[in-house]
Amino acid sequence: MHFEVRKVVTSIEETRIEGGKLAPRPITMVGVAYVIKNPWAGQGFVENLRPEITAGCSELGAEMVAKILAHFPSGEAIEAYGKAAVIGLDGEIEHASGLIHTLRFGNHYRDAVNAKSFLSFTNKRGPAGTSIQIPMMHKDDAGFRSHYITLEMHIEDAPAADEIIVVLGGADGGRAHPRIGNRYMDMEEIAAEKAALEAQL
């Protein structure tokens, strides 16, 4: 591994009841977090981040995808996915962004789950133990609101000031009882309302 990995932390959450009602089936969300040494730590302002991104992000993405897939029957079983990065207090948000916002990292996950939509994400700076939020959406269609879900986790001793936490999230379903429609329904309703108003003019 090009990057120095201090530890790997996995969070698994299974929802069986939501709103007092039994879910049609349990929904499992998994987050796999790699705590790595910030490759730009102690160097001051680094103008060109590309060499480290090119050297290590593909390898990191491939290994993390293998880790998260181990918790599902197959890549096809993952319906929603996302990613996150948290930089320690001595780093830049750009450092966190650099590791996850590259096709060298993300394409491994998209290909493994046969996805069409982009990976939703967060990138932030925080101290050890800070909340890590991994937003997810449907892997095939960002308009399916049923799969707008978030996995939250934290690691008590990470990130250190000179570390970055890189996370992949996956789920085998959306919310237990989705009933707010989707963006396509909104578009149809708004278009119909507009047409009705115009007809009155």
* Per-residue model confidence as pLDDT tens digits over 148-160: 999 999 999 999 9
The tens digit of pLDDT for each residue in 85-138 reads 999 999 999 999 999 999 999 999 999 999 999 999 999 999 999 999 999 999
CB of 147 closer than 8 Å to CB of 79: yes
Closest CA to 92 of 5, 164, 6, 155: 164
**pLDDT of 180:** 86
End-to-end CA distance of the chain: 66
What token pair was written down for 117? Answer: 């939509």
Residue-range domains of the chain with CATH = 5-176 (3.30.1330.110)
Per-residue pLDDT reduced to its tens digit, 3-58: 999 999 999 999 999 999 999 999 999 999 999 999 999 999 999 999 999 999 99
Which residue is it, tokens 């450092």? 95
